[in-house]
A and B are shown apart, each in its own frame.
Chain A
């Protein structure tokens, strides 16, 4: 049996090697847990991800959540590896199926040679599939037996965690301490039951049944434990590090976990997050916080961002700093609330009425959510305008391990600037950047500023003067060009010239990078470039494009009426280069590595 890191090419099993004692060493493993969301399968995945962070392994997770209240079928996939883990894995090496429906829906996700462990108390019909090894484990009854009493089948997730620990020779002590820490908070009984379930799973003779055991290699430990968390949490902490102290929002999936965390965290910083009656109030209150001199934030998902658009146009006109998070999900309309999509790029840049330029950023992975969140705060303050962060459902919920940021370097303590303003103060100077005098600021000339959404002159007085409107439009546009001028061209991953340059943005960073790695292993001359600053974009990207025969823009959005995705449309408009082409899809799922490779091949060789 072979288990490989590169799920598309099972014949190429460089990442595993057999030792003499039936223990197979693994560099990478993709494990999928399939059950119902109320079974706590996310908990298993969460523990494994935390363990990975503590053992210098790379990890990436992927989960599906039903968009129903009381749960339903759900999966949690963990990709663990000692090398670079760039995606949650196309197919799995191991499948844990809790129910018949879990088995039926996910057995095809196993790659050839994969192993399926299923709960023999629930799964009754097994398919004959060549190369797949089936291992029955009475998960439910063994858990009930271990815990006893009235616990019913609660705890079978922890039983499976014990099983996994044994199967992959994971560090039991580290896991036990994580379990004790997590369940200890919930009371002694809960912690004891969890340990009973864990021990029963750990003691279960899975190795004998399977005739094999696996040693999942640890990475090179640099003596520092990594932090393990999801994208929404990383983004929240990035905002806090960037100086956000006030915010307002309205609940919507998958944004809500950011506002929930800010609601609890901000008071510790002396700040406040307010849940408002609707999205319009939320953005308006956030603008009120910004006007008051604070670094403020609001956020939502696509439908909510649409509702905020009028006020965001105001923030551009009034030149108020505001950070706006959009956790993109499948659209249009209510769409697919728990699926991933990148279809709000145009809305992010152009969604408001009038010419209302603003900054738009997009993080590429969970770690980057922290840094983009922080950067959004800095840019909002420097350019005194709205900054929209386009993250997505996949980044919001998936877990990755990364190095803790250097807090000495990144944490910014915000200052409320109420220094008296002199006679020369103008809120909208034609020859400089806006730096508002927040209310409470004494004005030495005795003239106080009104912040306005009407077109205005340098002092903020309403002005219908045609020349003034043109000059003010130019002013709001040119300040963003200054930002564009200083953005470096993004790093190129792969060949510096060749057949194809794959351009991506947002959460497709990992899969694109892994696709490039595999194509290069096959001898293709390809590279990837990832854009994080969506508006303004870095300049001179055409100097990079010039080195490749094809520029393939990979996006999770529709190809539109003219055959191009949203980023591809922007790049074509800017560079008028017909070799810029689109690879789009809207199935609500992350790109698989194989999909990218196949679609790039179709593009370069249409025959």
Chain B
């Protein structure tokens, strides 16, 4: 008897689908490239990869990944992805989207997916503007940003995504920059391996409607890519000052820093996932009814009504 054939190695070529429809120079190309590289590294079985998105430029993501995918409606990618994750523990579920989809129309779903700690990875490509609809103010547009809906400059205070995510209860919260592919890959990998609701906020420039906005975080454009110095737990003196990712207050402090702020993992905690908690209930419910079939269960319900 011969040994079973080694399964084919998953490559970027296998994972590439349609050529992205993004504008040349869009930050999202780098996000897609980093995602492919991490999948190549982790070698997740091809058919178990599931990418899900709502509406927006970045939400076109699933068309560009050759894998099971859903292009859903505006703002609702997370509840759909939660349904996939909760009913199919065998899959690796990824949700992608932008700031409008995730922080505005889908803002409430983000809070609830976070508090429920549904096991999936969510990547937000934040460009501080509505790009697909051609330059309207987004929930992350800074005050003073001139858009077609705020011709004299945005007047509303923008959302602070990192605070929202930590407050919402996401169990893994990180921030990265589309111009830093290696950092993006490292953060994606940690997010994927984290059990629970992991979110990565990626500053991803819209070169057409908000060019240059993220230069302050890009050394190649004269900015500073200021990384979070995580605790090494080495009992050294310098470790005292380093960031404890399990410290919620410290995460808020990082989130309060002046733009462009810091990059890396803000918060990470080990909390039971909704997947685990529901499975526990399913297991105990099933234990109570023994090996009853659907017919047995229905029959007993009906006899209780006689």
Residues of chain A at the chain B interface (Cβ within 8 Å): 50, 53-54, 225-229, 233, 237, 240-241, 246, 248, 265, 267-272, 274, 276-278, 280-282, 284-289, 291-294, 296, 310-311, 314, 318, 404-405, 407-408, 411-413, 437-443, 446-454, 461-462
Q: Is B20 an interface residue (CB 8 A)?
A: no
What residues on B are CB-neighbors of A404 within 8 Å? Answer: 302, 306
Known interface pairs A274-B278, A291-B80, A291-B83; 15 further A-B residue pairs with C-beta atoms within 8 A, sorted by A's residue number: A53-B305, A240-B297, A241-B294, A265-B297, A281-B78, A281-B79, A284-B83, A285-B83, A288-B52, A288-B79, A404-B302, A450-B68, A451-B71, A452-B70, A461-B63
Question: What residues on B are CB-neighbors of A265 within 8 Å?
Answer: 297, 301
B261 contacts chain A at the CB level, 8 A cutoff: no
Q: Chain B's nearest CB lies how many Å from the CB of A200?
A: 28
- Near A by CB (< 8 A), chain B positions 30-72 give 46-48, 50, 52, 62-63, 66-72
Contacts of A413 in B (CB 8 A): 293-294
| CB–CB A311/B76 < 8 A | yes
**Tally of chain B residues near chain A (CB < 8 A):** 55
Question: Can you name 17 A-B residue pairings with CB atoms under 8 Å?
Answer: A268-B289, A268-B297, A274-B83, A281-B112, A285-B79, A285-B80, A288-B87, A291-B80, A292-B91, A293-B88, A318-B70, A411-B294, A440-B88, A441-B47, A447-B66, A450-B63, A452-B70
Q: In the complex, A311→B14 CA distance in Å?
A: 31
Interface window among B96-104, B206-214, B235-243, B280-288:
B280-288
The answer to whether B86 has its CB under 8 Å from any CB of chain A is yes
Question: Which 4 pairs, one residue from A and one from B, show the smallest C-beta to C-beta distance?
Answer: A288-B83, A267-B285, A439-B68, A284-B79
B6 at the interface (CB under 8 A from A): no
Does the CB pair A268–B288 fall under 8 Å? yes
Complex: A119 Cα to B233 Cα, angstroms: 76
Closest Cβ of chain A: how far from B242's Cβ, in Å?
36
Q: Which of A53, A246, A281, A462 contacts B87 (CB 8 A)?
A: A246
Interface status of B258 (Cβ within 8 A of chain A): no
A442 to B71, CA, bound (A): 20
Q: Is the CB of A292 within 8 A of B76?
A: no
Task: For residue A202, give the distance in angstroms from its CB to the closest CB of chain B.
Answer: 23
Contacting pair A294 B297 (CB below 8 A): no
Rounded to whole Å, the gap between the CB of B131 and the closest CB of chain A is 17
Contacts of A277 in B (CB 8 A): 108-109, 111-112
Question: Is there a chain A Cβ closer than 8 Å to B132's Cβ?
Answer: no
Residues of B within 8 A of A241 (CB): 294, 298
Q: Chain B, 264-306, contact with A by CB distance < 8 Å: what is the 0/1 string?
A: 0000000000000010011011101100111101110110011
- Residues of A within 8 Å of B123, CB to CB, are none
Residues of A within 8 Å of B48, CB to CB, are 439-440
Q: In the complex, are the beta carbons of B14 and A446 less than 8 A apart?
A: yes
Q: Measured between alpha carbons, how far is A267 from B87 in the docked complex, in Å?
A: 12
- A288, B90: Cβ atoms closer than 8 Å: no
Q: Enumerate chain A residues within 8 angstroms of B298, measured Cβ to Cβ.
A: 237, 240-241, 407, 411
Closest to B14 in A: A446
B60 (CB) vs chain A CBs: closest residue: A462
B84 touches A (CB below 8 Å): yes
Q: How far is the CA of A168 from the CA of B31 in the complex (A)?
A: 77
CB of A404 to closest CB in B, whole Å: 5
B residues in contact with A287, CB < 8 Å: 72, 80, 83
With a cutoff of 8 Å between Cβ atoms, the chain A residues found around residue B90 in the complex are: 440
User: A-B contact count, CB below 8 Å?
Assistant: 186
> Within 8 Å CB of B70, what residues of A?
291, 318, 450-452
CB distance from B97 to the nearest CB of A (A): 13
Q: Tell whether, in the assembled complex, residue B306 and residue A289 are in contact, meaning their CB atoms are under 8 Å apart.
A: no
A276 adjacent to B79 (CB under 8 Å): yes
Given A439-B91, A448-B69, A227 contacting B302 (CB threshold 8 A): yes
* Structural contact, A439 and B282, CB atoms closer than 8 A: no
Residue of B nearest to A450 (CB): B69
Q: Complex formed: what's the CA distance from A456 to B294 in Å?
A: 38
The answer, yes or no, to whether B82 is at the interface (CB within 8 Å) is yes
B306 to chain A, nearest CB (A): 4
**Neighbouring B residues of A280 by C-beta, 8 Å:** 75-76, 79, 109
| Bound form: Cα–Cα A269–B87 in Å | 13
Contact (A272, B87) CB under 8 Å given A267-B282, A277-B109, A285-B82: yes
Closest CB-CB distance, A369 to chain B, in whole Å? 13
**Pick the contact of A411 from B71, B76, B88, B295 — CB < 8 Å?**
B295
Smallest CB gap from B73: residue in A: A314
A407 to B302, CA, bound (A): 10
A281 touches B302 (CB 8 A): no
Whether B305 contacts A228 by the Cβ 8 Å rule is: yes
Assembled-state Cα–Cα distance A285/B87 (Å): 10
What's the least CB distance linking B113 to chain A, in Å?
9
Tell whether A292 pairs with B87 under 8 Å between CB atoms, given A227-B306, A453-B73: yes
Does B162 interact with chain A (Cβ within 8 Å)?
no
State whether the Cβ of B179 lies closer than 8 Å to any Cβ in chain A: no
With a cutoff of 8 Å between Cβ atoms, the chain A residues found around residue B111 in the complex are 277
C-alpha gap A286/B79 in the complex (Å): 9
User: In the complex the two chains form, is A270's CB within 8 Å of B63's CB?
Assistant: no
Q: Which residues of B contact A240 (CB under 8 A)?
A: 294, 297-298
Tell me whether A454 and B71 are in contact (CB under 8 A).
yes
- A contact residues around B305 at 8 Å (CB): 50, 53, 227-229, 233
- Known contacts being A281-B112, A450-B69, is A246 close to B297, with CB within 8 Å? no
B81 interface residue per 8 A CB criterion: yes
- In the complex, what residues of B have CB within 8 A of residue A229's CB? 305
Chain B residues with CB under 8 Å of A276's CB are: 79, 112
Q: A269-B297, A451-B71 are in contact. Are A289 and B47 (CB under 8 A)?
A: no
- Which residues on the A side are within 8 Å of B282 (C-beta)? 267, 270-272
Q: Residue among B50, B75, B298, B299 with the most chain A CB within 10 A?
A: B298
B18 in the interface (beta carbon within 8 A): yes
Residue of A nearest to B66 (CB): A448
Q: Report how far A448 CA is from B51 CA in the complex, Å.
A: 11
Contacts of B84 in A (CB 8 A): 288-289, 291-292, 439
B86 contacts A272, C-beta separation under 8 Å: yes
Q: Are A246 and B281 in contact (CB under 8 A)?
A: no
The docked-state distance in angstroms from the alpha carbon of A274 to that of B87 is 11
Which residues of chain B have C-beta atoms less than 8 A from A284's C-beta?
Answer: 72-73, 76, 79-80, 83, 109
Would A440 and B295 count as touching, CB distance under 8 A? no
- Taking CB atoms, residues of chain A closer than 8 Å to B284 are 267
User: Considering the chains assembled together, what is the distance between the CA atoms of A447 and B87 in angstroms?
Assistant: 24
Given contacts A237-B298, A292-B88, A311-B76, contact A451 B69 (CB under 8 A): yes
Residues of chain A contacted by B73 (CB below 8 angstroms): 284, 310-311, 314, 453
List the B side residues contacting A282 at CB < 8 Å.
79
Q: Which of B76, B91, B285, B295 interacts with A407 by CB under 8 Å?
A: B295
